A = this chain, B = another copy of it.
Amino acid sequence: MQRKSFDEMPCPIARSLERVGEWWSILILRDAFRGLTRFEEFQKNLGIAPNMLTRRLSSLVEAGMLERRRYNDRPPRYEYVLTERGRDFRSVLGTLMAFGNRHFAPEGASIMIVDAVTGEPAEPVLVDRRSGRPLVEPDFVLAPGPAANAATVEQLANRKADMAPPARTKDSDA
């Protein structure tokens, strides 16, 4: 069975995962952010099999996250560099890193984001750019966007308090 595609789903999370959700893809992007560009560099650093690396790099190029470019003509040699879209993935990696450090690093953080000048560790939080307010539960909610379909609208209407713990009501009225 082919892996089911998320691409038809109207959800931006599903669409993103369709491009970067495969095994290895995100780690390749992580390494690209750390400055790796060459096939061999990725291969050594990740311990990935070369055939897998070929497939993942190709799909990331196809998704517009990486650009494959020849840096040497004879012999032909290629490197993979982040595109603008790829660089925009930074915030996702940032939150994922922070999440991992909070929950899966019992020995303490092994890598973190720090102030470039002071060296002070940063504490990444997601906020609204304009107001600067953190995007947390009661202040901000999920809502259908301009391109939402009926199903999305209905699903969101069914429970506005999208991040709420178990304030279940359906049991009674179903």
A interface list, Cβ under 8 A from B: 3-4, 6, 10-19, 21-23, 26-27, 30, 33-35, 37, 45, 47-48, 64, 71, 79, 81-82, 85, 87-105, 107-117, 119, 121-132, 135-136, 138-149, 152, 155-156, 158-159, 161-166, 168, 171
- Oligomer copy total: 2
Q: Are A34's CB and B162's CB within 8 A?
A: yes
Q: Are A123's CB and B115's CB within 8 A?
A: no
Q: Are A10's CB and B95's CB within 8 A?
A: no
A81 to B87, CA, bound (A): 34
Q: Can you list 22 A-B contacts (CB < 8 A)?
A: A11-B27, A12-B100, A12-B104, A12-B105, A14-B100, A34-B156, A88-B103, A89-B99, A90-B136, A91-B98, A91-B135, A92-B95, A107-B147, A108-B145, A110-B145, A111-B143, A111-B152, A112-B142, A114-B140, A116-B140, A122-B128, A123-B128
Distance in angstroms from A1 CB to nearest chain B CB is: 9
Collect the chain B residues with CB atoms within 8 Å of residue A14's CB: 27, 30, 100
Collect the chain B residues with CB atoms within 8 Å of residue A132's CB: 127, 132
Distance in angstroms from A69 CB to nearest chain B CB is: 9
Tell me which of B88, B105, B115, B163 contacts A90 (CB under 8 A).
B163
Q: Are A110's CB and B10's CB within 8 A?
A: yes
Tell me which of B111, B122, B147, B168 contacts A109 (CB under 8 A).
B147
6 further contact pairs, Cβ within 8 A, besides A11-B100, A122-B129: A6-B27, A17-B26, A33-B162, A91-B126, A101-B145, A108-B145
